[in-house]
């Protein structure tokens, strides 16, 4: 790892270390900001002592990051338009990273301080969108091109629907438990259990389910939120030291061969579908020499881009043999071909089987650009896991007692946690970032309604207000910081 940073100018090295510290600080704050969402029910119901619950939650967050992959990481990265990702320089890279991180950290700390279960996912996404929009204004490009709006819409839909699904499903799970075992002790609150049964802890099976589901929420939270930190670090590394990180330098000869084959098969795919795609891609009308000096991703330049990439990879068995400039060039070609292929997949006229083939080719195209070194994954896992072990008290009371007008029963805790673990796990499978905070707190609210406990209007309004304000607040803050940095610092 150390040799990757050798030869850097002192100011670049200091900036890089500072940027990495910022990212890890964000993940640490994310850990204690979101910890209560994973352990609130298990602590409130006294299924586990707080210190044990927080410790094991940290361990499972750590494991979630290690085993979660990088799908969500690059869903976050690709919120930025491909033009910004391929043309970023060191100065703009620093401004971009520090602006979005400063905005995200400030909002996270503020909501945590006031005990508001706000979403780190919304916070980070808003900060990225703010940087993209500010970059569009500064660069005099249309706002519609400042952000990858299709990706933003996909993520926005997942962030919008997941709390609604959490509310409805958790309510249905609780109704099912009440129908199945209406007289069970699992429908008591901890206070009722203490007064009526003179027992401090939940019944054994309820306690076991509460503990397992809490660790499940911790694991999927680590996987989903940890990947966001991985994506941020990759933005930092690619923006500041592109020569070392634009491509996975540890790619095997076989992986590079797969990339080359995917490029060749992509060309054949377009030729096979020339009747449908010929006009969109200007097939047969452009040559390799037609690529402009200031490279940009243009579907009309697809054939020249394919030819240029095949020429660049000809005879290459390892990426380390390429010059730093050539590595950046190869990444640009790969990102642009993937971006165009994604647009092609949305065009009418292609058969479902052809779209499936195109998706497979896209995976091979991005196999050596969408990656993360193990040390990055480990650093994020440690930051999130350690952060999980502090700062949990402020939000636990909100989740346990201030959402409903009555305390939470064991059955409500189980319903909310099982729903949250399944919902976030499904989001991980489809590489969609979701909010652990909102899924779990909406699940608790759903169980309160199903249990006819009623909701505390003040708390619910505060949570909803944070949910509504987080995106515009972080968009505005990160955009202002990025504008200031590019105008007066970079």
- Write out pLDDT tens, residues 289-330: 666 666 678 888 889 999 999 999 999 999 999 998 899 889
pLDDT for res 283: 82
pLDDT for res 416: 92
Q: Tell me: pLDDT of 401 over 60.
A: no
Q: Tell me: pLDDT of 48 over 80.
A: yes
Report the pLDDT averaged over residues 31-45: 76
Report the pLDDT averaged over residues 410-436: 90
Report the pLDDT averaged over residues 437-443: 84
pLDDT for res 260: 95
Q: Tell me: pLDDT of 150 over 90.
A: no
The fraction of the chain above a pLDDT of 70, given in percent, is 90
pLDDT for res 287: 62
pLDDT band at 121 (very low <50, low <70, confident <90, very high): confident
Give the lowest-confidence range in 5-19, 220-234, 427-441. Answer: 5-19
Report the pLDDT averaged over residues 434-445: 85
The fraction of the chain above a pLDDT of 90, given in percent, is 33
Report the pLDDT averaged over residues 146-159: 83
Q: Tell me: pLDDT of 338 over 80.
A: yes
pLDDT band at 398 (very low <50, low <70, confident <90, very high): low
Report the pLDDT averaged over residues 126-142: 86
More confident residue, 295 or 94: 94
Q: Tell me: pLDDT of 104 over 70.
A: yes
Highest mean pLDDT among 96-110, 135-149, 315-329: 315-329
pLDDT for res 202: 92
pLDDT band at 32 (very low <50, low <70, confident <90, very high): confident
Per-residue pLDDT of 452-464, as tens digits, reads 877 777 767 777 7
pLDDT for res 404: 55
pLDDT for res 474: 93
From 474, 468, 484, select the one nearest 26 (Cα to Cα).
474
pLDDT for res 393: 61
Mean pLDDT of the chain: 85
pLDDT for res 313: 93
Q: Tell me: pLDDT of 263 over 90.
A: yes
Report the pLDDT averaged over residues 243-271: 93
pLDDT for res 306: 93
Q: Tell me: pLDDT of 179 over 70.
A: yes
pLDDT for res 388: 79
pLDDT for res 35: 65
pLDDT for res 237: 86
pLDDT for res 286: 65
More confident residue, 118 or 284: 284
């Amino acid at each position: 790892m150390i040799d990757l940073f050798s030869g850097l100018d002192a100011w670049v090295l200091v900036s890089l270390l500072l940027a990495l510290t910022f990212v890890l600080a964000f993940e640490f704050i994310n850990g204690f900001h979101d910890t209560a969402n994973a352990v609130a029910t298990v602590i409130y119901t006294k299924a586990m002592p707080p210190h044990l619950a927080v410790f094991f939650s940290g361990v499972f967050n750590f494991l979630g990051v290690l085993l979660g992959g990088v799908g969500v990481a690059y869903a976050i990265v690709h919120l930025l338009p491909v033009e910004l990702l391929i043309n970023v320089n060191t100065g703009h890279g620093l401004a971009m990273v520090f602006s979005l991180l400063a905005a995200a950290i400030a909002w996270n700390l503020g909501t945590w301080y006031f005990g508001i279960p706000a979403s780190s996912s919304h916070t980070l996404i808003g900060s990225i969108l703010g940087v993209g929009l500010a970059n569009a204004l500064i660069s005099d490009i249309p706002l519609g091109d400042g952000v990858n709006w299709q990706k933003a819409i996909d993520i926005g839909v997942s962030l919008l629907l997941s709390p609604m699904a959490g509310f409805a499903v958790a309510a249905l799970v609780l109704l099912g438990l009440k129908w199945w075992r209406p007289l069970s002790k699992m429908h008591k609150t901890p206070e009722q259990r203490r007064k009526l049964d003179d027992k401090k802890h939940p019944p054994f099976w309820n306690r076991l389910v509460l503990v397992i589901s809490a660790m499940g929420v911790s694991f999927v939270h680590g996987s989903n939120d940890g990947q966001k930190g991985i994506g941020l670090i990759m933005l930092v590394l690619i923006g500041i030291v592109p020569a070392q990180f634009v491509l996975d330098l540890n790619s095997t000869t076989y992986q590079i061969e797969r990339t080359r084959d995917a490029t060749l098969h992509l060309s054949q795919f377009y030729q096979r579908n020339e009747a449908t795609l010929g006009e969109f891609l200007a097939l047969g009308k452009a040559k390799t020499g037609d690529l402009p000096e200031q490279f940009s991703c243009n579907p009309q330049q697809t054939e020249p881009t394919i030819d240029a990439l095949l020429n660049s990879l000809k005879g290459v068995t390892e990426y380390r043999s390429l010059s730093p400039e050539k590595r950046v060039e190869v990444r640009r070609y790969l990102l642009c071909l993937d971006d165009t292929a994604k647009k092609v997949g949305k065009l009418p006229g292609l058969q479902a089987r052809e779209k499936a083939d195109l998706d497979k080719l896209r995976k091979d195209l991005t196999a050596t650009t969408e990656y993360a070194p193990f040390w990055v994954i480990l650093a994020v896992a440690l930051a999130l896991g350690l952060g999980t072990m502090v700062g949990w008290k402020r939000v636990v009371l909100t989740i346990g007692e201030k959402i409903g007008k009555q305390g939470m029963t064991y059955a409500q805790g189980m319903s909310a946690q099982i729903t949250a673990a399944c919902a976030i796990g499904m989001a991980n499978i489809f590489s969609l970032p979701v909010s652990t905070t909102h899924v779990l707190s909406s699940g608790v609210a759903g169980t309160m309604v199903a249990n006819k406990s009623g909701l505390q209007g003040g708390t619910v309004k505060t949570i909803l207000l944070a949910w509504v304000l987080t995106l515009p607040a972080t968009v505005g803050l990160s955009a202002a910081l990025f504008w200031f940095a590019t105008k007066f610092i970079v």
